[in-house]
A and B are shown apart, each in its own frame.
Chain A
Amino acid sequence: MKRAELWIGLVLVAGVVALALLSFVWTPFNPTGVGSAPRLAPPGWPHVLGTDHMGIDTFSRILVGARSALYVGIIAVGIAALVGVPLGILAAWLPRWGAEGMMRAVDVAYAFPALLLAILLAGVFGASTETAMLAIGIATIPAFIRVTRAGALSVLASDYVLAARASGTPVPVIAVRHVLPNIAHLVGVQASVSFAMAILAEAALSYLGLGTPPTVPSWGRMLGDAQTYLFSHPGQAVWPGLAIAGAVLGFNLVGDGLRDFLDPKLQEVS
């Protein structure tokens, strides 16, 4: 049953990746330029998903939009993991008062809305894909710190770490040799869940005009554009909406599936 979840998630994720890869080599029409095509055309031929209010082929924009979604997800999760994992291990190693102080700071950061941070950064640096990625990445750091610290604490309490210390193994070596490999699965699960949230956040920011600029196709911006025509042409919102839902669902299912798959309670204990 849980296996099925993981597989559905993997298929959806693979689909998004395939769309993004395909967009590099082929799109049926120019995804950015205004053509001579009719505006707001319903799905049909040659525009299989119709055209938007500028007469641009929707399917082509969906393809290229997958690229933006993955790009933002990878960079944002990358920032969060690269900063959050070392800080999480540090928080596990610190003496109690130091760790307490750090985790309270993490709590405060956790409570700070990502959207507000994005608006702040967009105000300072101007709205761009990079600003959106940075904002989403920074906002995701606390989640990685928490997950890493929880995992690292249990690894650091194990006898194999005590044995390593009894031989005088330096702390950084213990972190790399013992802690990292034994929390990799936790970080992996967190990464796929955060990836889904990053795609959703990018869509939200682009919808608000704080993310990807209008010239670059993005699912969130497509949704924002479609809103204007929601009553006259409700079909416009369907395709980017489906794409976002599919990608987010996919990454969430992969995260959930991995968590169950890697759950030590389900592993063979001999």
Chain B
Amino acid sequence: MTALFEVHGLTRVYTTGRRSVVALEDVSLTVEPGQRLGIVGESGSGKSTLVRLMAGLDRPTSGTVHFGGRPVSGVPERQLGFLRASVQFVFQDPRSSLNPRMRVGDVVAEPLRSPLVRRELGALDQRRRVAEVLDAVGLPADAASRYPHEFSGGQRQRIAIARALAPSPQVLIADEAVSALDVSVRAHVLNLLMALVDDLGLTLLFVSHDLAVVRHVCPDAVVLQGGRIVERGPTQRLFTAPEHPYTARLVAAIPTFRARS
């Protein structure tokens, strides 16, 4: 089986004036179809930079990204149709990932209206597709005609998931997708996400600072620190026998609860 994503020697340096910051340094990894890969690290470790480069939303300073054997980096936008239809995002905060002035139906239909995605998918009944995905994430059918602010945080994240599923992607990138939610709704949204990934056979890139959540979701993970991959392997092993001191620190940082005697 060929790899879905092949990332080789990816480096991204941001330059502001005379200062330059290395956000990502010489990162290589492969993602197999159907894999669930956790990308773990503290804020500023380069997690978001990595997935943005993989989705062709930013240009790497050096290194390459291939998706399905085709190059992503350095390719003009109009030739990225194969990627735009196949890779979709769910972001951290549904308050800022949903345009407050658009109806939910239009938010969810937006990927279907993109000329690149339309070229990939062919003719499609947009309304029916919107109704399908809203139903799939457990939102009422009349949600399409309402505005995002009429929904709770958990429901808004369901809207964001529905939007990501609309073009029937192969890959879902969840960038801290449950971190901003209340603990009470976090489990619901996480379970929904996992059920959908299972049902639709999606490949999942799960970006999180929270190793406990990653263990729950992903069999494998890479650990990023300061823009470099410091450790990778089965999540269970990262937990029980971390090799890198940074991983050990992340594991130790997970709050544990013991019954008080």
Contacts and interface: CB of A to CB of B under 8 A. Distances in A.
Chains A and B bind each other:
yes
Interface of A: 158-160, 162-170, 177-178, 181-182, 269-270
Contact of B91 (A163, A167, A168, A169): A163
Contacts of B160: 163
A166 B80 contact: no
Contacts of B163: 163
A49 B87 CA distance: 72
Nearest to A184: B101
A6 B145 CA distance: 32
A168 B110 contact: no
Which 8 pairs from chain A and chain B are nearest by CB? A168-B116, A168-B84, A159-B97, A167-B111, A181-B101, A159-B91, A167-B114, A168-B114
A25 B159 CA distance: 54
B25 to A, nearest CB: 23
B55 interface: yes
Nearest to A178: B99
Contacts of A168: 77, 80-81, 84, 114-117
A238 B95 CA distance: 53
Contacts of B149: 270
A206 B55 CA distance: 59
A158 B57 contact: no
A170 B110 CA distance: 11
Interface of B: 52, 55, 57, 77, 80-81, 84, 87-89, 91-93, 95-102, 107, 110-111, 113-117, 149, 152-153, 160, 163-164, 167
Given A163-B89, A169-B110, A270-B149, A182 B100 contact: yes
Contacts of B102: 177, 181
A163 B99 CA distance: 10
Contacts of A169: 110, 113-114
A54 B115 CA distance: 67
Given A165-B57, A167-B167, A168-B115, A160 B87 contact: no
Contact of A166 (B88, B93, B98): B88
A160 B97 contact: yes
A166 B84 contact: yes
Nearest to B166: A167
Contact of A159 (B80, B96, B111): B96
Contacts of B98: 160
A182 B99 contact: yes
Contacts of B114: 164, 167-170
B89 A162 contact: yes
Contacts of A181: 99, 101-102
B157 to A, nearest CB: 12
B57 A167 contact: no
Contacts of A269: 95
18 contacts: A158-B99, A159-B92, A159-B97, A160-B97, A160-B98, A160-B107, A162-B91, A163-B110, A163-B160, A166-B84, A166-B89, A167-B84, A167-B111, A168-B77, A168-B80, A168-B114, A169-B110, A177-B99
A181 B101 CA distance: 7
B99 A160 contact: yes
Nearest to A179: B99
Given A158-B97, A159-B96, 8 more contacts: A158-B99, A159-B93, A167-B88, A167-B167, A168-B81, A169-B113, A170-B115, A270-B153
